[in-house]
A = this chain, B = another copy of it.
Amino acid sequence: MDTRERIVNVASRLFYKQGYNSTGINQVIKEAEVAKASLYQYFPSKEDLLVEYLRVTAENTEKSLRAFIDKYSTPEEKALAVFDFILKFSKQADFNGCNFLNIAAEVPVDDARVRQLIRRQKDSIRSLFAGILKPAGKEKLADELYLLFDAALVTGKVHEGSWPVKTAKKMAEKLL
């Protein structure tokens, strides 16, 4: 694996696990086994590295999620599969809520670049639901399901066990 990739992987893991502000450049370079100046060759500032983390994570999330729901056939099944996806995700040992909402809590309100990336990822989830539900003529439910999506991630982080995600799924079933 090449240098740049190693940096992004390590930073992604640490930003998610510990938060952006609590992760120092020194820890990133140490765990990525990379010289400090090498990191700065690829990412002129820590924020640039954050932006890449958000970009890559959004991309990967969308890809995995689409792959996951593609296994289902009806719109309703697909929509519910999204919550199974979250359930699986939330059961992982390193689950720590939503990558994007966590960052949103850390960056200043006036950081336009980062906040736009976050909003964009969220909008892609709304679009995903809308795309799924269109064939069934239930597009209007997209925003509601998206709210449950955020709730599952965020509330699932705070409480022990999987009940928030499961409850969100149950609510989604009612809606559909």
A168 at the interface (CB under 8 A from B): yes
A18, A119, A150 pick with most chain B CB within 10 angstroms:
A150
Contact of A21 among B21, B104, B170 (CB under 8 A): B21
A84 at the interface (CB under 8 A from B): no
A162 at the interface (CB under 8 A from B): no
Residues of B within 8 A of A155 (CB): 122, 146-147, 150-151
The answer to whether A19 and B144 have CB atoms under 8 Å apart is no
A112 at the interface (CB under 8 A from B): no
Q: How many residues on the A side are at the interface (Cβ–Cβ under 8 A)? A: 42
Q: In the bound complex, how far is the Cα of B171 from the Cα of A175, in angstroms?
A: 9
Q: Which of A86-131 contact B (CB under 8 A)?
A: 96-97, 100-109, 115, 118-119, 122
The smallest C-beta distance from A129 to any residue of chain B, in angstroms, reads 12
A77 at the interface (CB under 8 A from B): no
A–B complex contacts, Cβ < 8 Å, 6 sampled: A19-B21, A101-B105, A118-B158, A150-B155, A171-B171, A174-B175
**Which residues of A does B touch, CB under 8 Å?**
17-19, 21-22, 96-97, 100-109, 115, 118-119, 122, 143-144, 146-148, 150-152, 154-155, 157-159, 163-164, 167-168, 170-171, 174-175
